Amino acid sequence: MLNQAPENVSRIACIGAGPIGGGWAAFFLAQGYQVRSYLHVESEYEALMRLLDTAWSSLEQIGLAEGASRDNFSWTTDLAEAVAEAEFIQESVPEVLELKQELYRTLGDIVDAEVVIASSTSGLSMSDIQAKCSTPERTVVAHPFNPPYLLPLVEMIGGKKTDPCSVEWAQQFYRVAGKVPLVMQKEVPGFIATRLQEAIWREALHMVANGEATVEQIDQAVVNGPGPRWALMGPCEIFHVGGGEGGMAYCLDQFGPALKLPWTRLDAPELTPELRQAMIDGCIEMTRGQDFATLSKKMNDGLVEIAKMKRRQQQQQNE
The distance of closest approach from Cβ of residue 59 to a copy of itself in the complex, given in angstroms and rounded to an integer, is 8
Question: Closest Cα partner for 126 from 193, 195, 187?
Answer: 187
**CA-angle at 193, arms to 190 and 197, nearest 5°:** 90
Chain positions 13 to 32 lying near a copy of itself, rule: CB under 8 A, are 19
Q: Which of 317, 16, 306 is nearest to 148 (CA)?
A: 16
Is residue 96 part of the contact set for a copy of itself (CB under 8 A)? Answer: no
Residue closer to a copy of itself by CB (options 3, 194) is 194
Query: Which residue stretch of 2-10, 86-94, 169-177, 260-268 sits at the interface with a copy of itself (rule: CB under 8 A)?
Result: 260-268
User: How many residues are there in the chain?
Assistant: 319
Closest to a copy of itself by CB, 44 vs 237, is: 237
Any contact of residue 80 with a copy of itself (CB under 8 A)?
no
Task: Pick one of 150, 165, 176, 249: the residue that binds a copy of itself (CB under 8 A).
Answer: 150
**Which of 1, 41, 46, 61 is close enough to bind a copy of itself by CB under 8 A?**
61
C-alpha to C-alpha distance for 135 and 190, rounded to whole angstroms: 26
Nearer to a copy of itself, 74 or 214 (CB): 214
202 lies in the binding site for a copy of itself (CB under 8 A): yes
249 part of the interface to a copy of itself, by CB under 8 A: no
User: Three-state DSSP class for 96?
Assistant: coil
The reply on whether position 40 binds a copy of itself by CB under 8 A is no
Question: Is there binding between residue 64 and a copy of itself (CB under 8 A)?
Answer: no
Q: Using the rule CB under 8 A, is 178 a contact of a copy of itself?
A: no
Distance CA 45, CA 22 (A): 10
Alpha-helical (H) ranges within the chain are 19-30, 45-62, 79-83, 97-110, 126-129, 164-176, 193-209, 215-224, 226-230, 235-242, 247-255, 273-286, 292-318
